[in-house]
Structure 1
Amino acid sequence: MRTHFCGLIDERLIGQTVTLCGWADVARDLGGLCFIDLRDHEGIVQVVAEPADVEGNDRVIATASDVGYEDCLRVTGQVRRRESVNNKIPTGQVEVVATAIEVLNKAEPLPFHAHENPGEDIRLKYRYLDLRTADMQRKMRTRTKLVRALRRWLDERDFQDIETPILTKATPEGARDFLVPARMHPGEFYALPQSPQLFKQILMVAGFDRYYQIARCFRDEALRADRQLEFTQLDMEFAWVQESDVQDTAEAMIRDAFREVMDVDLAQPFPRMTWAEAMRRFGSDKPDLRIAMEFTDIAELVKDCEFKVFTDWANDAKGRVVALCVPGGATLSRKQIDEVAAHAAKYGAKGLAWMKVTDPTLGREGVNSPIAKFLDDATLTAILQATAASAGDLLLFGAGAWNTASDFMGAVRLKVGKDLGLVREGWAPLWVTDFPMFEWDEDAQRHVALHHPFTAPAVDDVESLRANAHTAVSRGYDMVLNGNEIGGGSIRIHRPAMQAAVFELLGIDADEQLAKFGFLLDALKYGAPPHGGIAFGIDRIAALMAGTESIRDVIAFPKTTGAQCMMTGAPSPIADEQLAEIHIAVRPKK
């Protein structure tokens, strides 16, 4: 139906006849002279319908004058140089003088204009219109380029693209599974995979050595800007490897993808940082290194002061008292500091103490703070020296259980860094390594896996792991970029005795191990090689490349934070007859 794309018409085509298809982005009737900005996925070109002593031109003018916004058109005409150049678009040097205009489909009045921002619910309800916009076309094409670059890189290095099942066994250990009733097996269910984790490990046992898959994954969990019920990840697994083998390969791949898609050269090599160091310095296991601010632990300085919030936690072996020096932060008003405190409260803070520094050389006379009266001169001076505070800086203080204080002060660091423009431009990748093997769940009174229960511990001895479970370190690693975890992986457990021991520490007894993971334990008995891997969030990397904070902007048909598809109305009720076929009865809502 067409000979060229709208956005690719340029001076090389002057004098040639072209046929274009697209939507009317703008239509202007100047009384016998009509201009149409015709748009397709490549861009926009100006179409002109003008009076001339040519048979049939009256029909062209009549059709053009009736064109409305987003009408679907087919235009034939001759390319010529524009009298008034538009340097804002790539086709701005030329225009197409129409000799025929065909309206392929009229558009009814639209619920919103492409140049408006109607709100996300409306955008998602009419997603097909939202996806037509130049910005969404750009974002989705960025995602396509990313996936193409990753596949090319892996294919060239002899990774095997192997599909794993979508209907699989429910092995709940983390997020909730999406369950699918098995019609042919009444009362039994499949689960949609949260990841291909167990299958890719079994592929290593099967001798495939290097595997990858662009995999769809499903997790029934609460949504936010960087999470969806269904998402896409690049899944990779390697046999006969150590941590550095996986990291070096994955790093080279991501570096190449950024170079190909964005013409960006990431650091080489990526810096490496242990989990303990990341939490100590930044209060996050995915620190944004574009923000220079770091924590100063001050427990030793305040353990004898008169401020009870400080002293209680400073003298608690499980506590932490930390200070964050914010350059130029003294400009924040009391209301703005209260907003930061409210943000910290979302992450567990009971309060947020602060101190504005006007002149650190003057000691007490050089600060403004509601807590200064509880600190003697020596303590106050020691805090100013330890934090290297300068005139005009703001000190923010957090105290609490070690993990809680780290978490909320990490959130504070990010917020004030963004609010005060302290985030430098560019890309800051790193590896975070040596994660704790387990976390302790107070409610369940048992260990839970920090990554997943198939991650190998740093120790190779079962008894050593059992004896030191609270402090055990795993062989896990995450790739972080600009404060986002874009990939996570580990060396896996490849011996059945160690896997069984980890299950036991997680409160999974022998019967439950057999019921849920018997097929994996069996596979590990038959010469399973040492293996490891990593999975990358395609949605998250594409969002970073496209310059958007929400992964919904790089997913064609995403769900809302309420887990709904606004366009189709999913989820929706199912007829009783269909439920009966799969042996399901729905309880009435309470």
Structure 2
Amino acid sequence: MAESMKGLKRTHRCAELSSVNTGEKVTVMGWVQKNRNKGGIVFVDLRDRSGILQIVFEGEDKAELIEKAAKLRSEFVIAVVGNVEARSGAVNENLATGEIEIRAEELRILSESETPPFPIEENSKTKEELRLKYRYLDLRRPDLQRNLMMRSKVATLTRQFLSEEGFLEIETPVLGKSTPEGARDYLVPSRIHPGSFYGLPQSPQLFKQLLMCSGYDRYFQIAKCFRDEDLRADRQPEFTQIDMELSFVDVDDVIDVNERLLAKLFKEVLDVEVTLPIPRMTWQEAMDRYGSDKPDTRFGMELTDVTDTVKDCEFVVFKGAIENGGTVRGINAKGQGGMPRKKIDKLVDFAKDFGAKGLAYIALQTDGTVKSSFAKFMTEGQMQNLIQAMAGEPGDLLLFAADKNKVVWDVLGNLRLEIAKQMEILNKDEYKFVWVTEFPLLEWSDEQNRFMAMHHPFTMPMEEDLKYIDDDPGRVRAKAYDIVLNGNEIGGGSVRIFQNDIQEKMFEVLGFTKEQAYEQFGFLLDAFKYGVPPHAGLAYGLDRMVMLMAKEDSIRDVMAFPKVKDASCLMTEAPSEVDDKQLEELGLEKCSAE
């Protein structure tokens, strides 16, 4: 039977106590982690969000108390009044409270618990599906609680820092207009306007630009955003952005304030010094060196362009790629020359997943011999020149891809990461930041047979590239920038277009008629007629940033109630069907799941 808390007030969380409190009478409350009955003496580990504390029930005059304590089971919620004492047994160095224990004088059982479907413990081996079904129990685990407390601290520090920098926290609407340029919107039917729908925001982009038009100068928001897209480990249908926009600034101003924000967060949350300024590289340099616009710079294994070195060889794969306007590039996996053939074949299959037709290799043995998949098509001189171009040494494995640039970058960019994982050289304790700048403004979509905005239609082209926008739009670079951490894009932004003629030209290149542009973005374009300041912004994926700070592999481990791969919630069973009356009010018909 549950007892009342009446007359009791918690004095401390469990791990707030230490040897400094020895001799004090305290009241602690929490969940029973473990109960050990040693016959005449009962030890209980009490857990709350701060940590674990040992409670001792002992004494000739405490028979009734000891008997009550002996009945405690895991996850019972209890309150204990007692005195802080030095541990009678050995000190537990694994616990923050390992030097002390509470000698209990009073015990109240506030709530009993059924046996949980899995143990509440760190680094749980329980299947994620079961843990997510009982997420309220899973969230009691100390490692998840630490992650969510870290997330809270990041949000609090961000608010403090941006407020001190003159930013105003302003909320923007969640029910807005659907603008289907980009990922799919989540739609909300309107009861009052039958047949019409709101779109949930993929970002507060348009509203924050309007706030700049309204003179608010510096805005920020920790904003919930929604995208109806396929999920992966670092993606969810609803996610959180640290969103900001600044007026009367250019690229360097946005980068400066954000570098100082990152330095503060990593110092205060992790005690990690971020060396400023953070290195910058252009998109072109990132692709050429790392095969990725989110390069992991914690290790080398950079791409080398060997097109000129092999252009005269007779290897048809290399020749064909070069004749079709492609390139031949390679990576040097240092010390992997002895990799078994079966493992190399697996790498070939891995490369095929990213569009490669195959993968050429040279394995340089430590005894000086050379094993290669294409040696017979090369003269000895050509082979030596290629090995030299790749800085190959005995013991190295050289891997090559030949195709259009996009495919070669994709293949080798992913391959270097896969090999680094296999070599176990990715250190989660190392935090390597890099800014990637000067992205292409546009990318061609074969599916839509038109250019698409690489970021969004309001990104400012680099002024010196505007001359190419009619005849060679693919050549135009954007005033866009991403902040990358350990191979993950954690934030991105751009300088925005604020001149009417450039915005109209952008819509024209994207294939919008004036009418179409006004239909989707008319309220923004109208606002721009009334004096718009130069402005720029950036948004971080809060979930992804905290995931990396917490050294987790999935953003689900830093979110309280995440969805699974099919965008459903195993705990609440959302999404679910609604009754016919609700559908009728919205003017909708129930459709069959088939």
TM-score (normalizing by structure 2): 0.96
- For 2:557, what is the secondary structure of its paired residue? helix
Q: Corresponding residue for 2:272?
A: 264
Q: Corresponding residue for 1:456?
A: 460
Task: Give, as a single letter, the amino acid of the residue that structure 2 aligns with 1:404.
Answer: V
Aligned with residue 91 of structure 2, among 85, 89, 101: 85
Task: Give, as a single letter, the amino acid of the residue that structure 2 aligns with 1:72.
Answer: V
Q: Corresponding residue for 1:73?
A: 78
Deviations 1:170-213 (A, max 9, x none): 01111000000111000001010000001111111111111111
- For 1:331, what is the secondary structure of its paired residue? coil
Contact 2:53-2:101 within 8 A present in 1 as well? yes
- For 2:337, what is the secondary structure of its paired residue? helix
- Inter-partner Cα distance in structure 1 for 2:47 and 2:452: 53
Contact 1:456-1:492 within 8 A present in 2 as well? yes
Aligned with residue 347 of structure 2, among 335, 340, 354: 340
Would you say 1:47 and 2:52 are equivalent positions?
no
Q: Corresponding residue for 2:412?
A: 409
Contact 2:442-2:473 within 8 A present in 1 as well? yes
Tell me the CA shift for residue 51 of structure 1.
3.2
Tell me the CA shift for residue 140 of structure 1.
0.8
Deviates more, 1:368-377 or 1:401-410: 368-377
- Inter-partner Cα distance in structure 2 for 1:403 and 1:531: 32
Tell me the CA shift for residue 229 of structure 1.
0.4
Q: Corresponding residue for 1:193?
A: 201
Count of residues in Structure 1 that have an aligned counterpart in Structure 2? 582
Contact 2:468-2:475 within 8 A present in 1 as well? no
Contact 1:227-1:551 within 8 A present in 2 as well? yes
- Inter-partner Cα distance in structure 2 for 1:220 and 1:92: 48
Deviations 1:255-289 (A, max 9, x none): 11111111111121111100000000100001010
- Inter-partner Cα distance in structure 2 for 1:306 and 1:468: 34
Q: Corresponding residue for 2:580?
A: 576
Q: Pairwise CA RMSD of aligned residues?
A: 1.4
Task: Give, as a single letter, the amino acid of the residue that structure 1 aligns with 2:337.
Answer: A
- Inter-partner Cα distance in structure 2 for 1:227 and 1:251: 24
- Inter-partner Cα distance in structure 2 for 1:486 and 1:271: 15
Deviates more, 1:444-453 or 1:495-504: 495-504
Would you say 1:498 and 2:493 are equivalent positions?
no
Aligned with residue 330 of structure 2, among 323, 327, 330: 323
Tell me the CA shift for residue 589 of structure 1.
3.0
- For 1:235, what is the secondary structure of its paired residue? strand
Aligned with residue 355 of structure 1, among 356, 362, 376: 362
Tell me the CA shift for residue 249 of structure 1.
1.1
- Inter-partner Cα distance in structure 1 for 2:567 and 2:39: 50
- Inter-partner Cα distance in structure 1 for 2:566 and 2:433: 32
Would you say 1:567 and 2:574 are equivalent positions?
no
Contact 2:55-2:102 within 8 A present in 1 as well? yes
Aligned with residue 309 of structure 1, among 303, 317, 321: 317
Deviates more, 1:284-293 or 1:372-381: 372-381
Tell me the CA shift for residue 460 of structure 1.
6.8
- Inter-partner Cα distance in structure 2 for 1:149 and 1:484: 22
- Inter-partner Cα distance in structure 2 for 1:32 and 1:62: 9
Q: Corresponding residue for 2:4?
A: none
Matches within 5 A, 1:106-505: 106-115=112-121, 116-317=124-325, 319-358=326-365, 366-423=369-426, 426-459=430-463, 464-505=468-509
Contact 2:188-2:199 within 8 A present in 1 as well? yes
Contact 2:436-2:481 within 8 A present in 1 as well? yes
Would you say 1:27 and 2:35 are equivalent positions?
yes
What's the % identity of the aligned pairs? 46
- For 1:466, what is the secondary structure of its paired residue? coil
- For 1:432, what is the secondary structure of its paired residue? strand
Tell me the CA shift for residue 359 of structure 1.
5.5
Task: Give, as a single letter, the amino acid of the residue that structure 2 aligns with 1:71.
Answer: F
Task: Give, as a single letter, the amino acid of the residue that structure 2 aligns with 1:218.
Answer: F
- Inter-partner Cα distance in structure 2 for 1:31 and 1:410: 62
Matches within 5 A, 1:545-560: 545-560=549-564
Tell me the CA shift for residue 503 of structure 1.
1.4
Contact 1:438-1:449 within 8 A present in 2 as well? yes
- Inter-partner Cα distance in structure 2 for 1:189 and 1:61: 63
Deviations 1:214-235 (A, max 9, x none): 0110000011111110000111
- Inter-partner Cα distance in structure 1 for 2:190 and 2:396: 62
Task: Give, as a single letter, the amino acid of the residue that structure 2 aligns with 1:113.
Answer: P
- Inter-partner Cα distance in structure 2 for 1:234 and 1:68: 42
- Inter-partner Cα distance in structure 2 for 1:507 and 1:457: 17
- Which runs of 5 or more residues in structure 2 are unaligned? 1-8
Q: Corresponding residue for 2:67?
A: 62
- For 1:62, what is the secondary structure of its paired residue? helix
Going from structure 1 to structure 2, the CA distance change for 1:527 and 1:463 (only over 3 Å counts) comes to farther
Deviations 1:119-147 (A, max 9, x none): 11111111111111110111111111111
Task: Give, as a single letter, the amino acid of the residue that structure 2 aligns with 1:90.
Answer: A
Contact 1:294-1:324 within 8 A present in 2 as well? yes
Deviations 1:142-174 (A, max 9, x none): 111111111110111110001100000001111
Deviates more, 1:5-14 or 1:551-560: 5-14
Contact 2:465-2:477 within 8 A present in 1 as well? no
TM-score (normalizing by structure 1): 0.96
Contact 1:359-1:367 within 8 A present in 2 as well? no
Tell me the CA shift for residue 561 of structure 1.
1.2
- Inter-partner Cα distance in structure 2 for 1:551 and 1:589: 30
- Inter-partner Cα distance in structure 1 for 2:206 and 2:466: 21
- For 2:582, what is the secondary structure of its paired residue? helix
- Inter-partner Cα distance in structure 1 for 2:83 and 2:260: 48
- Inter-partner Cα distance in structure 1 for 2:99 and 2:380: 71
Aligned with residue 544 of structure 1, among 548, 552, 560: 548
Tell me the CA shift for residue 306 of structure 1.
2.3
